[in-house]
Amino acid sequence: MSAIRESVRTPTSSLKRGHYVRLSVADTGIGMDEPTLARAVEPFFSTKGVGKGTGLGLSMAHGLAAQLGGALSIQSSLGVGTNIELWLPISATLPETDEAVMTSGAISHARGVVLLVDDEDVVRDSTADMLEEFGYEVRQADSAEAALMLVAKGLSPDLLVTDHLMPGMTGVDLARELLQDRPKMPVLIVSGYAEAEGIAPDLPRLTKPFRSSELEAALSRLSTFSTGKQAEKA
């Protein structure tokens, strides 16, 4: 990997005029054909099966770069390899110290144990970091079955955040199982597959990919959702 400072003097469709840091990563693998390359940054596009990849890596990197005013570009040829460039703008101003230490008021005083379940290590670790920043203690599991084993060994979660489509038991099935003994436990189902739309309408859901602020907003709505469901049953 290499990192080089670059200046763009003529704006392009993806980059404005300005100064950037260009990060480049290249390999000498089998490369991608044109149809695969055209969909490489499409959310949830993957050449792997369920449980072997989410198709979110390049999509999240592309979205983050665009959100920051940069870009991600990919050059690839079959039999030659792939080169990915991440362009990030260089800021001309220093960050505001006061804003940097501010925390959101929505769940800044959150306490409790979160059982976080996702079969994708990168996604699970990223989500765990967000939850810990909110003040939660996080216990992780890479499958619904592993999560049930943790509970069987004595873990008593205050909140369940789980992916839906995983090898074996789904996140919704896991939630149903745990809610039998913990009917008041808040649950957040995380999924992004189109075929899962409309499933489990009684369980709050967050669509992948998501940012920290979106996760925070979803968690802050859980108490309102739970209160409403309990009122309906009364």
Give residue-wise pLDDT tens across range 25-49: 999 988 888 888 888 888 777 776 6
Torsion of CA 105, 111, 112, 113, to 10 degrees: 70
DSSP-derived secondary structure for 77-120? ETTTEEEEEEEEEPPSSPPPHHHHT---SSSTT--SEEEEE-S-
Mean of the per-residue pLDDT values of the chain = 80
Q: What proportion of the chain, given as a percentage, has pLDDT over 90?
A: 28
Under the banding of pLDDT at 50, 70 and 90, the label for residue 15 is confident
The parent domain of residue 55 ranges over 2-89
Let me know whether 193 and 110 are in one domain: yes
Whether 189 contacts 80, CB under 8 Å: no
Least confident range of 79-83, 172-176, 192-196, 209-213: 192-196
Let me know whether 25 and 112 are in one domain: no
CA 81 to chain centre: 27
Say how far apart CA 61 and CA 86 lie, in whole Å. Answer: 8
Q: Which among 58, 89, 120 is the end of a domain? A: 89
- 10 Å CB burial of residue 52 (0-12, 13-18, 19+) is exposed
One-letter amino acid at 31 equals G
Q: Is 43 helix (H, G, I), strand (E, B) or coil?
A: coil
Say how far apart CA 177 and CA 186 lie, in whole Å. Answer: 13
Q: Which among 61, 89, 117 is the end of a domain? A: 89
Any domain includes 233: no
* pLDDT tens-digit readout, 111-168: 789 999 998 887 888 889 889 888 899 999 999 999 999 999 999 999 999 998 888 9
Say how far apart CA 45 and CA 122 lie, in whole Å. Answer: 16
On whether the pTM is more than 0.75, the answer is no
Any domain includes 169: yes
Whether 126 contacts 116, CB under 8 Å: no
Any domain includes 229: no
Let me know whether 82 and 113 are in one domain: no
Task: Provide the pLDDT for residue 225.
Answer: 43
Higher pLDDT, 149 or 196: 149
Let me know whether 53 and 147 are in one domain: no
